[in-house]
Structure formats: structure tokens, C-alpha cells
Structure 1
Amino acid sequence: MMLPIKMVFGLIAVALTLAACSPLRAINALTPASTYIKTADVPYGARPRQKLDVYTPAGTKSPAPVVVFFYGGSWNSGERPDYEFAAEALASRGMVAILPDYRLYPEVRYPDFLIDSAQAVSWAAKEASRYGGDPKRLFVMGHSAGAYNAAMVALDKRWLGQFGMAPEILRGWIGLAGPYNFLPIQNPDVKPVFFHPNTPPESQPVNHVAKSAPPALLIAPQSDDLVNPARNTGRLAQVLRENDVPVTEIYFDRVNHITLVGSLSRPLRHFAPTLDAITRFVEKESAQAKDPA
């Protein structure tokens, strides 16, 4: 006997909660491929993990906003094919989605994955127009550890500066359940990544907010056992407001740390309007982009 569709979705959500990344490919199997044109395995650097996939909205007739999405995994795990559902979600709303891989521990530690992240964003700024994107409407986004990467690229000038650019190239950035203020480190998987107990304070996004920072959309679960939302999302939003940086701060109560990103997928979208919030933010900030001189 077939299970009711709501029960199927519920089982997927439970699987996500219990096993993190492994069920993502099951969600991808339920994700349509008709909304995008995929260009895979594009190198943005010379190393094996410095590759990305580009998802161009199907039928796009004009340059579209560009969103570079970084996945999470405690800087220990993750690969871009697992997050095809996230790229499809963005492409279905008219955005060019770019999904990079980046080097992970133990191959590298902080800050090398930030160098990779900035290199991928600089690639997008230079090359997105070849894939239907508008580099003047460039956003960076991430979930969990990926949200940290996005935050540091958007807030800390050191990383894009290595590629002759600055955070001002971004129209905005989006963080989903990100760790932005996590010292002292509690997660044993993360401690060696950041040289615990000698983690440098400059590793924290909250310490890099300036008045020139791009607008932010910060989304988190009301309850999160992995990344404390008040300490991280709430504190960063407070510091952004204190520096007069536009910030939208949203908390959802039907998702957890894992199912928040899962709610971008079609099967789990009823759990939280995450994609709607992202779409509104991108459309609003894109509308304020300056026309070419």
C-alpha cells in the first residue's frame, strides 16, 4: 500500500534530521531538472576540489541575479552534487545558482577554505555573464559552515582582497543557521579546524562588521542544537544593526538545523517559507542595483 504523500515528506524530514547529508540525494531524486540548464565541473582554481557547477534558469532571456551557495558540513564533509535541490530552488525563482566545492579538513584548516570561497565568488563576478547571470546583482549564500564562509567573504575584506576585489561587489548575502560567533568552540569536529584552544578571534564573522557591509538576510530555526541561534544569528544581526547595515532576521519554528536547508527542496518546502524569504530579499536588493554607467 502506498503511503500518503504527507507521510512520505515527513519520513524524509526525519531522515534528514537523523542522518544529515545522506538523504539529500533522495531529495534530489524528487527534484525536477526542467527548471535549469546545468554546467558541471567548471574549475575556478587549480586544485581538485576547486570546481563548481552552474545552474542557469531555463528560458532566461535577460541577465539574472547570481547566487553563490556554499554547503555546510563542519568544514569536514560535503560535496556539491548533494545540494542540487538547493540550486534547483534558486534557479526555479530566476536566479543563476553557482555551487562550489571547497577544500576541507584535514586537507586544510582555517582560513584556507575561505580563500577557496572568495576565489569562487571572484570567479562568479568575472564569469557569471557567460551563463546568463548579472555580475552587478551578485549574492553569496550558505548553510551552517557554508553560511560562515559566506559571512566571512561578505564581511572580512581580506579574502576577496586576495583576488583584487572587495565585499562591495556583493548586492547582499544570505546565511542559513550560520555560526558567526562561536568561541569558545564546543563541537569536537570543529576544534581542530580552527586550532582550538588557540582559535584566532579574527576567525569570527561578528568581529568584521563595518558600515560598508552588504545587506544581509539571516535565517535560523527557533531551536537549534548545533548552532545556537541567539548567540550566532541574533548577535550578528544586532551588530549589523548597530553599524546601520540593513539586515533581515527571521526565525522558523517548524525546522531544525538540518531541515532548514532541506526546506528549500520541493518535498520539504511546506515546513518553512525559506525560499520565499530568499526570493524577496534577492528581488529587493537586485532592484536597488545601480545601472551601468
Structure 2
Amino acid sequence: MRRVAIVIALVVILIAGTAFTAGPGTLSVLDGMMGGGRGTARVREGVRFGTHGQKLDVWRPSGGAKTGLPVLIFWYGGGWVHGSRSAYAFAARAYATAGYVVVMPDYRKVPDVRFPAFLQDGAEAVKWTRDHIEASGGDPNRIAVAGHSAGAYTVAMLTLDPRWLRAEGVDPRIIKAAVGLCGPYDFYPFTARRAIDAMQGAADPVMTQPIHFARRDAPPMLLVSAGDDTQVKAHNADNLTAKLTGLGAPVRHVDYPGLSHEDVAMALSKPFRGKATVLADSVAFLNRAMR
């Protein structure tokens, strides 16, 4: 056992700085090696949903209550180009250890699609969750959403702009709380190549911006930014927080100085949870909002 622990420690040291850049899947493997999945179970894998062959996984605590658990739908990042639900298993396991039934959906990506396909896929994932999560022990009346980077964009748009859920026959009030980790919310005019490519389908670019849909009756939102994020600048969270606050909507902004864009996601994993209290802070927020 001691030898195994030493080997694991060496692996952590060797890839500590490259776990995320090598691919989130590498981080999920490392997370599993370090016990990140202890106390959780993937109870559904590769479940088809929606109208374009999308798939999702469902994770939950392996012990405790069997029914009535709060639900979190988590969308991964990747600039609307990369990412997969299996690669981000570390994030699903993290929130499952906190007592949540976690739905991790895939979505269509650039260049196969453009705006608003990924939002439509997101809305279909919410619809599936509403209709089926009870079978996995989740409470369909307590659904929150969370995501990182491009996934946080989906979170903000589904939370603030009701047209996407309404188009699927879902009451937008189904979302009880939202957590956006390093998400783009106010990025027009577009300057980044990925944003330009992803938003090509928009007749009116302003209508792609979450900040445009800020409203007083929005559910509680937690917006997380990173002090050293060079990919999604902190003004996105700053501006949306200011807009929501001015309208009287419940919002909290937390910035983690010294963290990069990737660090915020890595901090959800077991090996790198010491980077910042991202998991603890977001779980505390969700628990209060879902009470």
C-alpha cells in the first residue's frame, strides 16, 4: 500500500502542471486514482436524449437517501469545440460526493453546428432531467445548473433567457439556482476566434449575450472568475454581476486571485482541491439556494 501511495504521489507531482492541458480526461483518471469517486456511482451511462443523438451520464451518491436528492446538471467547457461528458467525470463525482444527483450531458459542437444549437441541446438536457431524474433518486422540483467556460455560457443563457426552455415545453422556473465557472457573459463584439466561429448562426449578435437577458426575477446565481484567467476575462462576471445587482436579482460573484481558467475546473478534482475552495463554495451556495 505504501508503494502504491508513493507511485500515485509521483504521478501527481509529474502531471500537476499539465493535467488539464493534457486533457480533462487525464484529470478524471487521476481523480479516480486519488479516490475522487469514493462514495459515488455512475448509475446511468450513455443515455440518449434530445433530437440529435446526444448522450448523458448520471452520477449520484452511492449511500444515504435513495430518493428526493437535489439535482445538478453540469455542462463542461471546451470553447464550443472540445469536451466530452466522460472526460469531465471528475466534476460529476465532486458534486455527487456533496449529495447531488448529477447529470452530465454532451452537446453538439463547432464546426458541425453554430449558435444556437448548443443551447437547444442544453434545453433538451433539462427536459430529459425533468422527465427522468426521479428514477435515479433525484427530485425534479429541485434542479440547479452549473458549468465551466462554454458550459457556463449555456448555464447563463438557459437561466436568463426563457425562450430556450419554453421551446422544449419546460417552465423556465424549473432552474432553482445556477453556478457559472469562468463563463463568457458579455463578450460582444467578438474578438476570440472560437467566439466568432461559434456565434456565426446569430442574426443579431446582441441576442447571444447573457448580460442582455439579465432580469430581476432570475434565480440565484453564483458567478466565479479567476484572477489569472487569460481566456475569459473577469469583466464577464463583473459586468453580469453589476447588471443583476442593479436589477435587484440575487447574485454573488467570487473571484479566486492567482488562479487560471483551467485551475478553477481543476479545483473540483480530488488531487487539486487545495488550489481553491471552488467546490466547497459552490456547494454551500447551492445548498442555500435549494433549501
Q: TM-score with structure 2 length normalisation?
A: 0.91
CA distance in 2, matches of 1:22, 1:285: 31
1:220-241 Cα deviation digits (max 9, x unpaired): 1112100001x20110111111
Post-superposition shift, 1:32? 4.0
The answer to whether 1:233 aligns with 2:237 is yes
Counterpart of 2:38 in structure 1 is 34
Cα contact 2:20–2:27 (8 A) shared by 1: no
1:65–1:282 contact (8 Å) kept in structure 2: no
Instruction: Report the CA distance between 1:108 and its aligned residue.
Output: 0.7
CA deviation vs aligned residue, 1:80-119 (integer Å, no higher than 9, x gap) = 0001110110010100110000000111100011000011
Letter in 2 for 1:133: G
State the match for 1:178 in structure 2: 183
Distance 1:197 1:47, change over 3 A: closer
Of 163-172 and 28-37, deviating more is 28-37
The residue that corresponds to 1:159 in the other structure is 164
Question: Conserved in 1, the CA contact under 8 Å of 2:47 and 2:55?
Answer: yes
Distance 1:23 1:249 in 2: 29
Aligned to 1:290: none
Report the counterpart of residue 252 of structure 2 in structure 1. Answer: 248
Distance 1:239 1:9, change over 3 A: farther
* Cα distance in 2 for residues equivalent to 1:67 and 1:174: 10
Take 1:13 and 1:177, find their aligned partners in 2: how far apart are those partners?
Answer: 21
Instruction: Tell me if structure 2 keeps the 8 A contact 1:143–1:175.
Output: yes
Report % sequence identity. 35
Would the aligned equivalents of 2:176 and 2:219 in 1 still touch at CA under 8 Å? yes
Q: TM-score, normalised by structure 1?
A: 0.90
User: Once the 2 structures are TM-superposed, how far is the Cα of residue 188 of structure 1 from its aligned partner?
Assistant: 1.4
1:165/1:197 Cα in 2 relative to 1: closer, same or farther (>3 Å)? closer
Q: Secondary structure at the match of 2:79?
A: coil
Aligned to 2:269: 265
CA displacement 1:26-51 (0-9 Å, x = unmatched): 43442443322211011112423x11
**C-alpha distance in 2, partners of 1:158/1:284?**
27
For each residue in 1:124-156, what CA deviation from the matched residue of structure 2 results, as whole angstroms up to 9, or x when unmatched? 122111111111211011000000001101010
Is residue 154–residue 167 contact of structure 1 (8 Å, CA) maintained in 2?
Answer: yes
Which residue matches 1:129? 134
Q: How many Å separate the matches in 1 of 2:211 and 2:218?
A: 12
Q: Does 1:63 align with 2:68?
A: yes
Which segment drifts farther, 54-63 or 85-94? 54-63
Q: Is there any run of 5+ residues in structure 2 with no aligned partner, and where?
A: none
Equivalent residue in structure 2 for 1:224, among 226, 229, 236: 229
- What letter is aligned with 2:138? G
Q: How does 1:97-116 map to 2 (within 5 A)?
A: 97-116=102-121
Aligned length: 284
2:27 is the alignment partner of 1:24? yes
Task: Provide closer, same or farther for how the CA distance between residues 56 and 22 of structure 1 changes in structure 2, counting only shifts above 3 A.
Answer: closer
